[in-house]
Copies of this chain bind each other. A is one copy, B any other.
Amino acid sequence: MKNRKLKNSELIRLDVESYRNAPKSNLIVILDNIRSLNNIGSVFRTSDAFLIKKIYLCGITAKPPHKDIHKTALGATENVIWEYVEDVMEVVRKLQNDNVFVAAVEQAENSIFLDDFTVNPEQTYAVVFGNEVKGVQQKVVSACDAVIEVPQFGTKHSLNIAVCAGVVLWSLFAQMKNSTNE
């Protein structure tokens, strides 16, 4: 049979304990004022796949456990490390003090297109995603070390935030993965 699909049991996946102990990618996610529980859960599921180091939940972003987060996270909230910190600025400052490079995902002056954003695999990055309607708050964007923009060419002003997080995290993760392999 050509291109036989793999059974779930044939996929190389970690159990929860191995996941906890596995080396993570140098990527941190900050979710600020995310309104949709589905979006939050979806970012957890994506973060599980790309071995995200930690997710910070800030502002109105809801915390697990919650059944509507679970519906899209499918259990990923059990693995991926997360912390709720109300004030996103506190997280940004703390991470910057720890030499983490903090980038807002936004459409802003001086933004860098995602495909032009080159990671240094030795560096830890945090990426901030903001509210579904208002985006990342201006004070956060201004405090960040860079702004990453996903170039978009259609009629809509933005991507769904869970899709956007997938695109950005994959892009940074793939670069880091390939740098380590080389």
- Which chain B positions have C-beta within 8 A of A46? 159-160, 163
Shortest beta-carbon contacts, A-B, top 6: A48-B154, A163-B166, A49-B152, A2-B142, A115-B174, A167-B170
What size tier do the contact residues of chain A reach? 35 or more
A15: contacting residue among B74, B150, B155, B157, CB under 8 A: B155
Partner of A151, one of B45, B47, B152, B177: B177
Contact present for B115 and A156 (CB under 8 Å): no
Chosen A-B contacts, 28 in total, with CB atoms closer than 8 Å, are A1-B142, A2-B141, A2-B142, A3-B106, A3-B111, A3-B144, A4-B108, A5-B106, A11-B107, A13-B152, A13-B157, A14-B155, A15-B155, A42-B160, A42-B162, A45-B156, A46-B159, A48-B155, A48-B156, A49-B150, A49-B156, A51-B153, A74-B156, A115-B174, A151-B177, A163-B163, A164-B166, A166-B167
Q: Which of B16, B72, B75, B159 contacts A49 (CB 8 A)?
A: B159
Q: Are the CB atoms of A11 and B166 closer together than 8 Å? A: no
| A55 contacts chain B at the CB level, 8 A cutoff | no
Tell me the bound Cα distance from A159 to B170 in angstroms. Answer: 11
Given contacts A166-B164, A170-B171, A177-B115, contact A5 B141 (CB under 8 A): yes
Among B3, B14, B50, contact of A110 (Cβ-Cβ < 8 Å): B3
Interface mask (A37-55 → B, CB under 8 Å = 1, otherwise 0): 0100010011111110000
